[in-house]
Chains A and B, each alone.
Chain A
């Protein structure tokens, strides 16, 4: 199996635009800059659903835009199907980009008119166009609404149109930027099924899915990369990433109160109110760690109601990686 996507040492720095006034009053101040990517290395294999997981501002969108030739990296290279992204004519036929925002369509036109316009840009031959557009509208279940103005569509419908557009030229690789971000839970569920069964299962597309939703990544992705502040912190199968840094075990305990010093001594994953006490999840160094914590709590007169060991999950890994920063 070949490599669908390869990124090597990608770096990207954005400078914020300065207003004329700012330039006039502070001519020598250098503009504010954001380092969006700090040396990203990735390899994505053909046919997999690859999750690009990270909080807002981690650099997911920037990375996807570099892969789709919309942003030029400052340092490093990216290749799609073996071609460097600098060779746009070779790369563009291989990729379909599903934008994260709902704009990027002509709102005064109908869904079908939009699709017809973009199909010409995607070089679908005129005689095949109507059939292709119909087929895709059917595929994303937009047949009935196709002749209504785009402005009237719900978020879910707009997102489905965005997917249909990205499929016009039948690219082997789909880059999806938080496709479920603005959807309600039911719509998100059905979109995930569609990605898994249709796009990945039936059409065998390679899918790069940017998301900040851990649950979504666990459900869909075969491999994931955890991106934070422009760096890949972990990369591997979901199973591998889950277990990362697990010389510790996670416990969930219900206590009547949780002393502040406990948070300083032990790795707290989550801490919330529960009935008239607190439910706290901690990562501990095995049984020794557990006994240490118990002794610590007893000493302070904390009343323990229950204590369970919990399985490793992506959330825990995420918290550990954050902690390791």
Chain B
């Protein structure tokens, strides 16, 4: 366990060291983030706060969390496949896989930094909103919030590993990725509540982890809901995580095995 943690940490350090050389890009990203934050502030003033599905939450705050978590999930989806692809090109995937480190752990850890970085940016985003727009969050149910965030993290790692496995297995652009990003944006209750959709489409949202993540996080942060009120949402998120994470680990091993059969761990 200590060894696994040490390896995970080594991946984070590795990518942090690479990231340091892109300082300007980082500042520009943060700048862009705050501009979009401003745009959404004014945009959401046009939204009826009584709209179905908002459950009395302020539209700007509601959407703010949606955007932050959509950013998180899209990082998850994108980071794994992009990392695996580039390590395949650089030859470093092979270099890692000759070492006595298991395949699953190599894939699992490869996006550890992207997650850390995305988490950091989400915090900045929310902190900025708090400072600039004077939003107040309920923090009294902090443990529930943490639980929700951890489950969000694990389920998105599962999704990311699925998409990386797809890339390794089929060696081409990743339609799963594209599909899931689109689905998340449309059905993930990021921009509008599922209740606004025609009835026969509403159920789709239930299969996306982001829907449940957002129910937990919005409930806890904006309405001050506690464990008792959120336990069904947490349960749904747990079930999805329990499916997605093992599936991601398992399929990444299958994909690496296929790559070893085809000799495609390195690509030119």
Q: A65-B263, A120-B6, A121-B7 are in contact. Are A109 and B14 (CB under 8 A)?
A: yes
Chain B residue numbers with a CB within 8 Å of A123 are 3, 99-101
**In the complex, which of the residues B95, B172, B257 contacts A118, with contact meaning CB atoms closer than 8 Å?**
B95
User: Is residue A57 within 8 Å, beta carbon to beta carbon, of the partner chain?
Assistant: no
User: A75-107: which residues lie under 8 A (CB-CB) from chain B?
Assistant: 88-89, 92-93, 95, 97, 99, 101, 103-107
**Of residues 1 to 18 in B, which have CB atoms within 8 Å of A's CB atoms?**
3, 6-7, 9-11, 13-14, 17-18
Query: A residues within 8 A CB of B6?
Result: 120, 126
Min CB gap B174→A, angstroms: 14
Q: Is the CB of A104 within 8 A of B262?
A: no
Q: How far is the CA of A74 from the CA of B253 in the complex (A)?
A: 18
A104–B7 touching, CB < 8 Å: no
Say yes or no for A21: interface residue by CB 8 A criterion.
no
The CA of A97 and the CA of B17, in the complex, are separated in Å by: 25
Interface-central residue, A72, A97, A120, A126, by most chain B CB under 10 Å: A120
**Contact in complex: A69, B172 (CB < 8 Å):** no
Interface of B: prevailing SS: helix
Set of chain A residues within 8 Å of B99, measured between Cβ atoms: 92, 118, 121-123, 169
Check B91–A14 contact: CB distance below 8 A: no
Given the complex of chains A and B, what is the CA–CA distance between A120 and B96 in angstroms?
Answer: 10
Q: How many residues of A contact B (CB 8 A)?
A: 38
Tell me if B90 counts as interface (CB < 8 A to partner A).
yes
Known A-B contacts A20-B172, A70-B97; the reply to A108 vs B10 at CB < 8 A is no
Contacts of B95 in A (CB 8 A): 99, 104-105, 118, 165
Per the bound structure, the CA–CA distance linking A104 and B86 in Å amounts to: 11
Instruction: Report if A113 contacts B (CB, 8 A).
Output: yes
Considering only CB atoms and an 8 Å cut-off, how many residues of chain B contact the other chain? 32
Q: Does B21 contact A (CB under 8 A)?
A: yes
Q: Does B261 contact A (CB under 8 A)?
A: yes
Instruction: Assess whether A29 is interfacial by the CB under 8 Å rule.
Output: no
Q: A103-B91, A120-B10 are in contact. Are A108 and B261 (CB under 8 A)?
A: no
Interface flags, A1-33, vs B, CB<8A=1, else 0: 000000000001011010010000000000000
B window 243-268: CB within 8 A of A = 257, 260-265
* Contact yes or no, A103 B90, CB < 8 A: yes
- Please tell me if the beta carbons of A72 and B257 are within 8 angstroms of each other in the complex: yes
A323 to B161 Cα, complex, angstroms: 51
Residue among B13, B92, B172, B264 having the largest count of chain A Cβ atoms under 10 Å? B92
In the complex, whether A206 has a CB less than 8 A from a CB of chain B is no
Q: What distance in Å separates the Cβ of B94 from its nearest Cβ neighbour in chain A?
A: 6
Nearest A residue to B3 via CB reads A123
Q: How far is the CA of A93 from the CA of B98 in the complex (A)?
A: 9
Distance in Å from the Cβ of B8 to the closest Cβ of chain A? 9
* Cα(A265)–Cα(B260), bound, Å: 47
CB nearest to A92 among chain B residues: B100
The answer to whether A106 and B100 touch (CB under 8 A), given A70-B260, A71-B260, A123-B3, is no
Q: How many CB-defined contacts (below 8 Å) exist between A and B?
A: 91
B171 CB-CB contact with A under 8 Å: yes
Q: Is the CB of B14 within 8 A of A117?
A: yes
Residues of A within 8 A of B100 (CB): 88-89, 92-93, 121-123, 169
In the assembly, what is the distance between CA of A12 and CA of B263, in Å? 10
Determine how close the nearest CB of chain B comes to the CB of A94; give it in whole angstroms. 10
Q: Give the docked Cα–Cα distance between A122 and B7 (Å).
A: 9
> Are B91 and A104 in contact, CB atoms less than 8 angstroms apart?
yes
Per the bound structure, the CA–CA distance linking A261 and B128 in Å amounts to 87
Interface string of B74-101 (1 = CB under 8 A from A): 0000000000000000111011111111
Query: In the complex, A118→B101 CA distance in Å?
Result: 10
A92 — which chain B residues lie within 8 A by C-beta?
98-100
Closest A residue to B97 using CB positions: A70
Q: B20: nearest residue on chain A (CB-CB)?
A: A108
Bound Cα distance A104, B94 (Å) = 7
List of A residues within 8 angstroms of B98 by Cβ: 68-70, 92, 95, 97
A residues near B, CB below 8 A? 12, 14-15, 17, 20, 62, 65, 68-72, 88-89, 92-93, 95, 97, 99, 101, 103-109, 113, 116-118, 120-123, 126, 165, 169
Closest 6 A/B residue pairs (Cβ): A104-B91, A120-B10, A103-B91, A121-B99, A92-B100, A104-B95
Residues of B in contact with A (beta carbons under 8 Å apart): 3, 6-7, 9-11, 13-14, 17-18, 21, 90-92, 94-101, 106, 171-172, 257, 260-265
Given contacts A93-B100, A101-B91, 18 further A-B contacts (CB under 8 A): A68-B98, A69-B260, A70-B94, A71-B263, A72-B260, A89-B100, A95-B98, A104-B91, A105-B90, A107-B90, A109-B14, A118-B96, A118-B99, A120-B7, A120-B9, A121-B99, A121-B106, A123-B101
27 contacting pairs across A/B (C-beta < 8 A) = A65-B263, A68-B98, A69-B97, A69-B260, A70-B260, A70-B265, A72-B257, A93-B100, A95-B98, A99-B94, A99-B95, A101-B91, A103-B90, A104-B92, A106-B90, A109-B14, A109-B17, A116-B13, A118-B99, A120-B10, A121-B10, A121-B96, A122-B99, A123-B99, A123-B101, A165-B95, A169-B100
